[in-house]
Structure 1
Amino acid sequence: MAKIAFILLCHKDPDAIINQATRLTAVGDCMSIHFDASANPEHYQKIRDALADNPNVTFARKRVRCGWGEWSLVQATLNAVEAALDDFPRATHFYMVSGDCMAIKSAEYTHKFLDSSDVDYIESFDYFESDWIKTGMKEERLIYRHFFNERTQKRRFYTSFNLQKKLGLTREIPHDVQVMIGSQWWCLRRRTVEWIVEFARKRKDVMRFFRTTWIPDETFFQTLVRHLVPEGEIRSRTPTFLMFTDYGMPVTFYDDHYDLLLSQDFLFARKISPEARELKRRLGDLYAAKGVTFQISNEGRSLFKFLTGRGRIGQRFAPRFWEAESSLGRDRELLIIVSKKWHVGKRLLQKVAEVTGLPAIEYLFDEESCPMPDLGGIETRMGKRTRHRRALMRMLFDYHDTNRLVVCMDPNNLDLLQDFFSDRSTTRLLEVHCDFTDDYLLGHAKRVGLAGDNTPRDAIDRLLPTIRSDVAFESEQIRDAGFSELYRISETASVEENTVPLSRFLSISEDHAKEIAGRSHLFAD
């Protein structure tokens, strides 16, 4: 059965460290602690005294002063790992945690999870090919030598960097090593950790290289694991649940996140607020519990993105240059059907195409699988379609050899609607108003990843009013946008009432419009 040696790097809050070590070792697991050499020595002594009689706790033989983004974090980890290897010969897995991490599953569940597959859990993506780094330095982290801390010695850091750049003082990456990147929160098997320690002793050239890279805790272990371990024995994921805000800061969890955390497909979570005393108590009790069943729904990240995104609705100050220089064409008409119920929008679109003969494209900015003609690659990914939306539309007009085109869009694409209405072409918008039952909204939440089959009922009850309000808000935004040609049909209106706006939207006779509005089961779920 799995026996975990937790590798804990910490620098503050001795009481929390003592409690964490006591909880995690009470069920037979172990812990190796590295306490920052630059932190309060009284705090370190307090931790040592409190845990002196715990045989499942050890300490790094040598402590180093740690700084964010420095090699010191990797060295501290290696020091703690070596102590764990020496003192816990029966440990099968080595799990990296911080002082604000806590288990979100029971020890029983965690051990069974690790026993189920003989693999290492560590994010490991190609450094240059992946988009793991969103902003800031990328290649520069590796090809230049970084001797100073960017946060505490900013002037020296950038002076050294700019001087090397000016003089062309780049260096080669070790030729036989493919640099990888990922989260520093990993769980590795004993054999893997032993291989890493042995590699570090033999390959002084690789160690010299990583000692002067920037933020090596995101690349060192990730690279070595991929170098030493067969690909089939690596799960490129972190077993620790963590999220980041739009500003790159870790999301902090509080007392009311208990149910959310338990439903995620992870073993630990980071980071737990120091003030979340009730959450810490409940999670601490959970780790020692037996026979607990966990319903995994795993909607945490998508739910966070949805809820926080609602408060960040804004408009760009100006169009991108490639948008300003492109146009669909002055003589062209883009007809946009907006419906939150995609199946209703698609039915209406199909009938419009059947009656009018106009080329029709479904939710091209919302569904990756939307049928599209070959347009040279611009149609292949959602990001490309959205980024080059005018160019895409212009190519669709050309492909179908038409000046009139009908498409479907979700009402949350307000920025796209505004962009198309600002074009020199003629743009018309038909909003399809539908009634939304709780069952439909729940299905919608599942389709977009805000809920799952195992999401707790109380979480669903809190979520549904928010989604309903969000749908109404999107409709209000469209009305408030001041679009010049906005038409509206409704599920509650009669066929005759819907005929007039359809006729004006499509510039067709009312007889033809009535044929479209009268499509059987148009609004059926």
Structure 2
Amino acid sequence: MAKIAFILLCHKDPASVIAQAERLTARGDYISIHFDGRASKEHYDTIRAALKDNPSVAFAARRMKCGWGEWSLVEATLQAVMAAVEKFPRATHFYMLSGDCMSIKSAAYAHAFLDAEDVDYIESFDFFESDWIKTGMKGDRLHYRHWFNERKNKFLFYASHKVQKKLRLSRQVPSDVQVMIGSQWWCLRRRTIEWILDFIQARPDVIRFFRTTWIPDETFFQTLVPHLVPQSEIRTRTLTFLMFTDYGMPVTFYNDHYDLLLSQDYLFARKISPGALELKERLGQLYASDEATFQISNEGRSLFSFVVGRGRVGRRYSPRFWETESTLGRERELMIVVCKKWHVAKRILDRIRTVTGIPCVEYLFNEDSCPLPDLGGIQSTVEKRTRHRRSLMRMLFDYHDSDRLVMCLDPSAIDLMRDFYSDRSGTKMLEILCDFSDEYLVGHAKRVGLAGDRTPPDTLEELLPTIRADFVYESDQIRDAGFEHVYRLRESGSPDDNLLALARFLDIPENRAREIAETGYLFVD
């Protein structure tokens, strides 16, 4: 029967570490603990004292000072693995855990699961061909040496990277090794672990390479296992259930996630909230039980995707506070200023704000740098704002304590216009029709990357009619959409002509609209 040696990396909360060790060893398994060298010595001594009489507990011989993204995390894992290999000769499997992990099945079920197939469980995807890395540094993780911690020494990290690139100090991956990537939460057989330890002794060149790669805990074991083990004996998955929010943060599980966790096809889950005491107690009791049958529905990720698509994160059945309704509100009025010349629209918004006092927001769905209040992170990027656009607008109405709000959109954002017009709130639009000189179109082409300083004049001459036609097409799309309450302000129009559009759009007297319309610098390029 399978006997598991759990490899526990932790850095805080000695009471939870002690409870986890006692719980996991109560059914005949083992645990090897690495407590971060940066953490409190007093906490470490507390753990050692509490578990000193438990023969199923081992401690790493050396406490590494761990840093996120550093080789120190791999070295800490290896220290705990070596302690477990030496002290627990009967261990058949080695399972990576963190202090935030909890079992979501019984020990009986876990042992039967591992006995069913003689395989290793580890995510292992081709580093260069897969899309496992969604954002940020990819090939440069390997091709350049990283001596500094990106989170603690950001300047030195990127300065070192920049200097190496400038001096062309890139390096090659060891020729006989295919670098792979995946989650660091693995479960490996004893034979595989022993092969890895032998490989480390035989190939110091590979170890030197990984020592200065960036985030090696996602590549080191993931690379060595398929290098040493036949593919038929590897299951490319983790046995630890974890999810990430649309903000790139691990999903935290709470007391009301008990049933959801049990139904997942995994043995453990992370991260469990420190405050989810009821959940921890119930899962601890479950692990010690003889329960061997579970109804696996595996709906966790699809359910999470469903609720996140509606702007929800966190507890299973509680919505984000800003998503209690899917509308901006029947009583509210959203006024959209549409203009291709952003500087013109911003000037008009400034005048509207001054003359009327109505809250105004600039190109929040087009411009990352748009000034916005702190709304809990939803405002941080254009992508997030667009994904949660109605939620964001509700929050802005609430923030300004107003039922009227003016915002800007680029004429190309026809889908956003349709979405806001479909809301139950009142929606108006002011389309500002500007004149576009050839000089302005050339500048626009350069700003959006269609042309550069060295683009030949002949090429620009051919490009300008296309850009001008594209501007006309965007305006025609707005007209063809059939939106109600659309007013048009023209650069070529007189103040008398434009004040009527402003008065109706803002629902203000004509004398106040005239103050805006007669502003002399509105259309200056």
Range class of TM-score, shorter chain: 0.5 to 0.7
1:290 corresponds to 2:290: yes
CA drift of 1:476 comes to: 6.3
CA drift of 1:73 comes to: 0.2
Name the counterpart of 2:164.
164
Query: How far apart, in 2, do the equivalents of 1:224 and 1:12 lie?
Result: 30
CA drift of 1:419 comes to: 7.1
Letter in 2 for 1:45: D
Tell me which moved more, 119-128 or 283-292: 283-292
CA drift of 1:63 comes to: 1.4
Name the counterpart of 2:204.
204
Name the counterpart of 1:61.
61
Letter in 2 for 1:285: Q
Query: How far apart, in 1, do the equivalents of 2:7 and 2:286 lie?
Result: 21
CA drift of 1:67 comes to: 0.4
Name the counterpart of 1:236.
236
Name the counterpart of 1:259.
259
Query: How far apart, in 2, do the equivalents of 1:260 and 1:160 lie?
Result: 45
Query: How far apart, in 2, do the equivalents of 1:227 and 1:478 lie?
Result: 59
After TM superposition, the structure 1 = structure 2 runs for residues 469-480 of structure 1, keeping only pairs within 5 Å, are 477=423
Q: Given the superposition, is the C-alpha separation of residues 480 and 82 from structure 1 closer, same or farther in structure 2, using an over 3 Å criterion? A: farther
Name the counterpart of 2:462.
none
Contact 2:421–2:427 (8 Å) recurs in 1: no
Tell me which moved more, 299-308 or 190-199: 299-308
Query: How far apart, in 2, do the equivalents of 1:125 and 1:480 lie?
Result: 50
Name the counterpart of 2:271.
271
Name the counterpart of 2:300.
300
Query: How far apart, in 2, do the equivalents of 1:421 and 1:108 lie?
Result: 54
Letter in 2 for 1:280: K
After TM superposition, the structure 1 = structure 2 runs for residues 101-500 of structure 1, keeping only pairs within 5 Å, are 101-311=101-311, 477=423, 484=481
Query: How far apart, in 1, do the equivalents of 2:74 and 2:109 lie?
Result: 29
CA drift of 1:295 comes to: 0.6
Letter in 1 for 2:99: G
| Partner deviation per Cα, 1:121-145 (whole Å, 9 max, x = no partner) | 0000000000000000000100000
- In the TM superposition, structure 1's runs of 4+ consecutive aligned residues that sit over 6 Å from their partners are 418-423, 473-476, 478-483
User: SS at 1:84's partner residue?
Assistant: helix
Contact 2:2–2:92 (8 Å) recurs in 1: yes
Letter in 1 for 2:116: S
User: SS at 2:178's partner residue?
Assistant: coil
TM-score by length of 1: 0.61
Query: How far apart, in 1, do the equivalents of 2:158 and 2:224 lie?
Result: 28
Query: How far apart, in 2, do the equivalents of 1:110 and 1:475 lie?
Result: 53
Name the counterpart of 1:342.
none
Name the counterpart of 2:97.
97
Name the counterpart of 2:79.
79
Letter in 2 for 1:93: H
Unpaired runs of 5+ in structure 1?
320-417, 424-428, 430-472, 487-525
Contact 2:59–2:83 (8 Å) recurs in 1: yes
Contact 2:148–2:156 (8 Å) recurs in 1: yes
Letter in 2 for 1:155: F
CA drift of 1:291 comes to: 3.0
Name the counterpart of 2:432.
none
CA drift of 1:421 comes to: 7.0
Tell me the matched-pair count. Answer: 340
Name the counterpart of 1:375.
none
Name the counterpart of 1:38.
38
From the CA coordinates, give the structure whose radius of gyration is larger: 2
Query: How far apart, in 2, do the equivalents of 1:481 and 1:250 lie?
Result: 38
Query: How far apart, in 1, do the equivalents of 2:256 and 2:62 lie?
Result: 39
CA drift of 1:107 comes to: 0.4
User: SS at 1:66's partner residue?
Assistant: coil
Query: How far apart, in 2, do the equivalents of 1:265 and 1:292 lie?
Result: 13
Tell me which moved more, 298-307 or 122-131: 298-307
TM-score by length of 2: 0.61
Letter in 2 for 1:150: E
Query: How far apart, in 2, do the equivalents of 1:94 and 1:193 lie?
Result: 8
| Partner deviation per Cα, 1:342-371 (whole Å, 9 max, x = no partner) | xxxxxxxxxxxxxxxxxxxxxxxxxxxxxx
Query: How far apart, in 2, do the equivalents of 1:234 and 1:64 lie?
Result: 30
Name the counterpart of 1:414.
none
Query: How far apart, in 2, do the equivalents of 1:422 and 1:109 lie?
Result: 50
Letter in 1 for 2:92: T
Question: Superposition RMSD on alpha carbons, in Å?
Answer: 2.8
Contact 2:70–2:214 (8 Å) recurs in 1: yes
Identity value in percent:
69
CA drift of 1:153 comes to: 1.1
Query: How far apart, in 1, do the equivalents of 2:121 and 2:337 lie?
Result: 44
Unpaired runs of 5+ in structure 2?
313-325, 328-335, 339-411, 429-479, 484-525
